Amino acid sequence: MTDFDWQDYSIETQAIRAGHKRTEEGEHSMPIFMTSSYVFDSAEDAALRFTGKREGHIYSRFTNPTVNAFQDRLALMEQGERCLAFASGMAAIMAVGMGLLKSGDHVVCSRSVFGNTILTFQNYFAKFGVETSFVELSNLQAWDDAIQPNTRFLFVETPSNPLMELIDIKALADIAHKKDTLLVVDNVFCTPIMQKPLLLGADIIVHSATKYIDGQGRCVGGAVIASDEIIEQYIYPYLRTGGATMSAFNAWIFLSGLETLAVRMKAHCDNAFELARWLDEQPAVDKVHYPGLESHPQHQLAKQQQSHFGAVVSFELKGGKEGAWKLIDSTKMLSITANLGDVKSTITHPATTTHGRLAPEVRLEAGIKDSLVRISVGLESVEDIKRDLLRGLVA
C-alpha cells in the first residue's frame, strides 16, 4: 500500500523501514509470501506481464514480494540502484560471471578472495574459455599490469580473509575505468554499515547474506547490487533463467537481520578491537592482524575507507601449528567452525581448514602460516572471550 521514499533517510532507518509495501491487511511486520506463482486478472494481463509491458509478479523464481522487500532494502543501504537476491553468496558471484562473461574474456581477481570464488573462476569459468589472472590484493600496480584488452572485470574482497589486508577501492576503480573495465567488490566483511563500494566507484557489489546480514547463522543467501542497467541487461535475465533464487522464507529472515545490522556491526567491531589490543599484549602471541591496530600496514586506509575496523581478528602464535591447535582445543566457549559473522564467536585454523587445499608454498605466499589462528568475534562479553582464550595462551 504505502511505498515511501526512504532515499533521504539514514542507513539505520532504511534498514528497519525500507522495502516493506504494507498490504491492505495493515500488517506491521513483513509477511512471508509462500507462493510459487501469481494469478493474473485476465488473459491480456498475463500477456502484458510476460512481455514485461506491465509490472507484476509471474513466478517466484524471479520475483516474490518478500524477496523484493529484501532487495529494495539492501539496494538502498548500499546506495545502489537495484539489488537481486540469490540462493547463496556463491550463487550471486556465479550470476555476475554468467551474466557478464563470454568465451574469450579475461578476469583479474585478488589472490586473497574466498576459496570458492577462486575455484569458480579457476575450475568453472576456465572450462568455458574465460581466463583469470590472480594478483596480490594490495598491489595496485599488479592490478594495472594484469589488465588486458579483453578484461571484463576486476574482482576484489576488502578487507581480506583471514589476514585483514585492504585495497584502496577508489584507486582500483579508477584503474579499472581508465582501461574500460568494471570493478566488482565482495562486501561481505564490511557490509554497507562499514563500507560503501559503489560510492567509491565500484560497479557491482556481491554479498553473502549468510554472514553478517543474517547475523545468527541460520540461512544461506546472497545478493548482487549494481546500476539498473547492469542488473537489467546482465543479472536479471540470468536469475530468471538460471534459477538460483532466494526463498521467501530466507528473505524474511534476512530482512529482520538487516534491521539489527547497524547495532550488531558496531558491537562486533568494538569487541574485535578490544580483543585485538589484548591479544597484541599476550606474550604467546607473535603478531596480530587487525586494521584497527597502528601496527597494521594499512591502518590509515582502513580509517578512511571503513567506518569501523571489522570483526575478524587473526594472529600468529609463537608455538607454531602445535601452539595454534592447542589454543583452539583449549577453548570451551568459542565454536570451532570456519563460519563467520555470527553472534557466536568462532575460532579456526586457516592453514588446515579454509586454506588447507592450497599447496603449502602457495599458502605461505598468501601469508597463511601454520601458526595463524582466526577468530570471528561475536557478541558475547569480550571479557568471557578473553577468558576462554587465556587458558590456551598461558599453557
Residues that bind ligand PLP (CB under 6 A): 88-90, 114, 157, 161, 186, 188, 208, 210-211, 220, 222
In sequence order, which residues have a C-beta less than 8 Å from that of residue 202 and are 6 or more positions away? 169, 173, 183, 184, 185
Least separation in angstroms between residue 241's CB and ligand PLP is 20
Output 113 or 284, the one with its CB closest to ligand PLP.
Answer: 113
Least separation in angstroms between residue 146's CB and ligand PLP is 21
- SS3 of residue 208 by DSSP: strand
Output 144 or 157, the one with its CB closest to ligand PLP.
Answer: 157
Output 311 or 317, the one with its CB closest to ligand PLP.
Answer: 311
Which residue has the closest beta carbon to ligand PLP? 89
Helices (H), the chain: 11-17, 43-51, 65-77, 89-100, 115-119, 140-146, 169-178, 191-194, 228-230, 236-242, 248-259, 261-280, 299-305, 320-330, 360-365, 382-394
Output 220 or 390, the one with its CB closest to ligand PLP.
Answer: 220
Q: Is the peptide bond before 159 cis (omega within 30 degrees of 0)?
A: yes
Least separation in angstroms between residue 189's CB and ligand PLP is 6
Output 87 or 175, the one with its CB closest to ligand PLP.
Answer: 87
DSSP lists the bridge partners of residue 108 as 133, 154
Least separation in angstroms between residue 113's CB and ligand PLP is 7
The CA angle 344-346-348, to the nearest 5 degrees, is: 175
From CA 333, how far away is CA 386, in angstroms rounded? 10
Least separation in angstroms between residue 260's CB and ligand PLP is 19
Least separation in angstroms between residue 205's CB and ligand PLP is 11
Output 319 or 354, the one with its CB closest to ligand PLP.
Answer: 354
